[in-house]
Structure 1
């Protein structure tokens, strides 16, 4: 930047995670170490909507202790949203509004913390600022429990969800095992993952504990006959089994097992209900008594069992995003580059947003067992270090101590703006 000091804007986007606030902590604490270059870090209230509405939060009013506490607090401290900006051609006015808000508040650094749609937005804002001649450096901070961003080895948020799913599958399976002689034979847990089965794969880690498990991946077309035969064989051999089903599991024609016929704010099919569909299928065809659960928000909010690896990486990527901006980089995203599985080693790399936006990373076929219902040793080696370590929050009276920020708004300088 040509200016000696310029302000920064940070926003959280999409579904929040157990560690997205750790990235926020990394951004804000690192920015505070460079007050000669960076002025105030503003946060968007409810993500990018905060920028469009000029509803900015002054993070400089938060104490160092409060910002540090973000590292161990789940969810989105500044509020998030599912709002996808349309293309520049279809709705240029929203992008121009962002630049107007940034200009009015002296913002020259844009840190957008989210998944694939957020990377796309960050990329487009960078392009527009250049075409308008406004000096803005747009840096994407990766976040998605789905683990489906390309280039980076893993995504902050995923390791903690994987740990939660593996832990929940293990403990629920032990419960079922204890009751199998006279009661429940099959436990079904539904996890997130629309197109990529990374989260479901984590359930396969319980096989190392002798737990019989069947996994339904989005990458493998659902074959009802083969699935039922596999479950029945497991129950006959072990007396019980668990099923981990991704919300994105689908029939050969592409129809989701869990499709409700509605769409979310991003235009994606609204999913939810694969677990009861699968459980009742088992009951009808095989007669086995079952219980089912949907992990839903629990899996992405469970900071109390977050992976230490995930917390550390989330913070490091937030910090590195600021460093990249100070180095003069634009339209990039910091990444995790794995060096080795054992011992687990990685370095922080960088990817250009034109290679990240609108690209989904699916599970490699060699991570999924030949029959399509489990994971391979290669997948276990990939997952194992990502769920390693505990980073417990402080506790008081039996519950975690999480921070709630002041989130004091900045005075508006522009006329109100109506969304399209």
Structure 2
């Protein structure tokens, strides 16, 4: 039987189903009699030797993770640099792994997390420490390479499409005497997958959303304003969905806030919806409302997609199997077998093909005029939002779980 402990950590922005992946990891490991430790606040917890023992959690609590949003162990935005630049930090990680007999490391995150898991695997190999590193996919942006889709995206996509459809009914009801244009901002720095998902809200040419702005297409203000006016003239009102990462032709973000960069070196973006709403109001004289759902998009477990939930659990279970099979520097990826009926499977993908790569919207998914999605995009997106995975409710509200997160005794000096 395999000996040693498995360390699981969450990274980056959480999703509505990242805890479902954690549930899959812990459940699979328990079935194989492997002890699972979890790092508080992702890689920071590993560096600080701030670990919790998931064996102290009840089976019921681990099962309840599958319907609880947020990050049960805490996540972080913390970018480790190259092995050469941050060697002391990587070596500290190995010291923590040695101290707690960690033989399997599962890092649940996006592109940067895949890169970290890959680097840790290489250092462990160079140091002759028996460690298997697995990158576990997660991101609402759906921009991970190799995998057909990223767990977390389907639920955020469902929330986006539902929100846009419902808001459109509100706008239509009030357009005669009130709001004529509504602008909805979707997450997506470089890839417009979530904005595209809003396109599922309507089927006909005059159904909302009438205009979608993608990062993959340069923002042309004059053309955009002309199209808004044309829709209002034709339909009586207009719903716009804009990805937060839309850029002008010179490459500058339309909504760059000037607030510097985040922990990953990305420019801080600050409100494309209010900016566009202001331009529509000033240039066209129309009454405008806007919404920036922000964290609501990624935390909306109450409207999660069953497809997304199933895939989130599946990658967690597969990650444990791959780890025990010593498939080092690997990620469990979703492979689409067919569109109709929708079928999928989980297959191993090398982290070297995932790390720091970005999957953008294919040109075939963007309507020729650049303001909507094609039939091909619908075929891709619709299966990912199917199925209702409602959490249990108590007193009218979702019943979520809080773990005990019993700490593991430290064995090393504090990390500065």
Bin for the TM-score computed over the shorter chain: over 0.9
Per the alignment, residue 52 of structure 2 pairs with 57
Following the alignment from structure 2 to structure 1, what is the Cα–Cα distance between the partners of residues 224 and 252? 17
Shift, 1:207, TM fit: 2.2
- Answer yes or no: is the 8 Å Cα contact 1:160–1:387 preserved in 2: yes
Shift, 1:258, TM fit: 1.0
Shift, 1:253, TM fit: 1.2
Shift, 1:257, TM fit: 1.1
Following the alignment from structure 2 to structure 1, what is the Cα–Cα distance between the partners of residues 165 and 281? 22
Per the alignment, residue 363 of structure 1 pairs with 361
Q: TM-score, normalised by structure 2?
A: 0.98
Per the alignment, residue 414 of structure 1 pairs with 412
Per the alignment, residue 235 of structure 1 pairs with 232
2:79 counterpart of 1:91:
no
Shift, 1:126, TM fit: 0.3
Structure 1 residue ranges without an equivalent (≥5): none
Per the alignment, residue 36 of structure 2 pairs with 41
Per the alignment, residue 138 of structure 2 pairs with 143
Following the alignment from structure 1 to structure 2, what is the Cα–Cα distance between the partners of residues 243 and 117? 31
Structure 2 residue ranges without an equivalent (≥5): none
Per the alignment, residue 379 of structure 2 pairs with 381
Shift, 1:191, TM fit: 1.1
User: Could you report, residue by residue, the CA deviation over 1:296-324 in whole angstroms, capped at 9, with x for unpaired residues?
Assistant: 00010000000000001000000000011
Per the alignment, residue 245 of structure 2 pairs with 248
User: Could you report, residue by residue, the CA deviation over 1:342-366 in whole angstroms, capped at 9, with x for unpaired residues?
Assistant: 1101111111011110100000011
Following the alignment from structure 2 to structure 1, what is the Cα–Cα distance between the partners of residues 278 and 257? 17
Moved more, 249-258 or 20-29: 249-258
Identify the match of residue 213 of structure 2 among 216, 225, 245. Answer: 216
Per the alignment, residue 207 of structure 1 pairs with 202
Per the alignment, residue 170 of structure 2 pairs with 175
User: Could you report, residue by residue, the CA deviation over 1:237-294 in whole angstroms, capped at 9, with x for unpaired residues?
Assistant: 1101101011100111111111011211111001121001101111111111110010
Identify the match of residue 116 of structure 1 among 102, 111, 133. Answer: 111
Moved more, 231-240 or 114-123: 231-240
- Answer yes or no: is the 8 Å Cα contact 1:28–1:67 preserved in 2: yes
Per the alignment, residue 316 of structure 1 pairs with 314
- Answer yes or no: is the 8 Å Cα contact 2:2–2:324 preserved in 1: no
Which ranges of 4 or more aligned residues in structure 1 deviate by more than 3 Å?
none
- Answer yes or no: is the 8 Å Cα contact 2:164–2:209 preserved in 1: no
Identify the match of residue 15 of structure 1 among 6, 9, 13. Answer: 13
Per the alignment, residue 303 of structure 1 pairs with 301
Per the alignment, residue 283 of structure 1 pairs with 281
Identify the match of residue 185 of structure 1 among 176, 180, 186. Answer: 180
Question: Tell me, what secondary structure is at the counterpart of 1:260?
Answer: strand
Following the alignment from structure 1 to structure 2, what is the Cα–Cα distance between the partners of residues 386 and 392? 16
